[in-house]
Amino acid sequence: VPFVQQGVGDNQSYKYYVVKADESTTWVDGWERPASQGGGNRDVEFAGVENQDASEETTYYDDVHPDWVIESGKDVSVVFSVDMAPAMDGDLQAVPFDPATDTLYWIGEMPSFVNTQGWEDVDEMRVLKLTDDDGDNIFSATLSLVTPTFNTFEYRYAWRSQDGSWTFEPAGFGDFAYRIRYIGQDGARSFPTLPWDMPTDTWTNQEDKSDQQEFDPFKSLTSIGHTPDVPTVYQLDQNYPNPFNPSTTIRFTVPVAGKVTLTVYNVAGQKIATLINGNVTAGSHTRVWNGKDNAGNQVASGVYFYKLTAEKFSATEKMILMK
């Protein structure tokens, strides 16, 4: 990634690109859609040296780890569901969704995954139709995967009207324009719960869908609806992604209900942001830090610490904001 006439600390956006030797492939778009960015650009900050690493960790195309491969011959199906109530609200949707006449579809937005399924990579793909069998405005459908493929689902929803026109959830070139979900894993290429029910999504008119994101299959295994037991220990996980820009997710687990605080500090030990200061239920919880202080100001690039404090427990982890 070249830096040309840029100052130290300037940000450079980039993605990886594949040029296929076989032009007959259905995979016509070689640009990756990094899962860590919800399909958006990766970012690296110029350090002012002749050569620098874009990341301290190994990076994979589309952020798909080899351990997340679903091998050939494995019978895997996934249930997607979405609450369409906001789309039916005339105060929220200019032209509301009419379940009597409109048809709702799941739209895959990661070209490499679309290619593994043998689908044509177009916005108006009609490969998975969702229906509402009980009239509760929750539309669902089961996707039976063609294998081999991989465990990363990047998508949005759209409906087709009787006249052939389409209405899509907004998307653009920013981060988290698409949802990211995973089948829960308990090990490399191991999927203990199948078929897998994804968390229920909610139709949105926001381009930023960071409130409907997951960050790796192992955390997804203990997400809502898939937690077999109440945890027995306190735990503060490493934030993801890390380094990050502009936001990152912090996950923690508490074995009993009670008051907790989750606070962000700078390297000088000054309190920057309070993410939680109150009671939580027993179980796993996540909070997104948007890189802003308590006054709503964007903080500078650098090292920060986040600290979880609960009854007889305290833990701190380091994170890096890299613009």
Residue 156 is part of a domain; what is its CATH number? 2.60.40.10
CATH of the domain at 262: 2.60.40.1930
Asked whether residue 166 is assigned to any structural domain, the reply reads yes
Boundary residue ending a domain (228, 248, 269): 228
Structural domain of residue 245, as residue ranges? 229-323
Count CB neighbours of 20 within 10 A: 11
Task: With H, G, I as helix, E, B as strand and everything else as coil, classify residue 210.
Answer: helix
Q: Which of 36, 11, 14 is nearest to 248 (CA)?
A: 36
Comparing 120-129, 132-141, 223-232, 252-261, the range with the smallest average pLDDT is 223-232
Task: List, in order, residues 6 or more apart from 170 with CB less than 8 Å away.
Answer: 177, 204, 205, 206, 207
Q: Using pLDDT thresholds of 50, 70 and 90, give the confidence band for residue 267.
A: very high
At which of 188, 209, 228 does a domain end? 228
By C-alpha distance, which of 27, 7, 37 is closest to 243? 37
288 and 300 in a single domain? The answer is: yes
Q: How many domains does the chain have?
A: 2
In a domain, residue 3? The reply is: no
What pLDDT score does 224 carry?
46
Are residues 217 and 279 part of one domain? Answer: no
For position 227, what pLDDT does the model report?
Answer: 47
Q: Both tokens of residue 114? A: 């679309």
Q: Which of 190, 211, 228 is the last residue of a domain?
A: 228
Is 156 in the same domain as 245? no
pLDDT of residue 223: 58
Q: What is the pLDDT of residues 130-144, one digit of tens each?
A: 999 988 999 999 999
Instruction: Tell me, yes or no, whether 11 lies in a domain.
Output: no
Q: How far apart are CA 298 and CA 292, in angstroms?
A: 4
Considering the domain architecture, whether residues 212 and 239 belong to the same structural domain is answered as: no
pTM over cut 0.85: no
Tell me: do 201 and 255 sit in the same domain. no
Residue 320 in this model has a pLDDT that exceeds 50:
yes
Name every residue whose Cβ is closer than 8 Å to that of residue 299 and which is 6 or more positions away in sequence.
266, 272, 291, 292, 293, 321
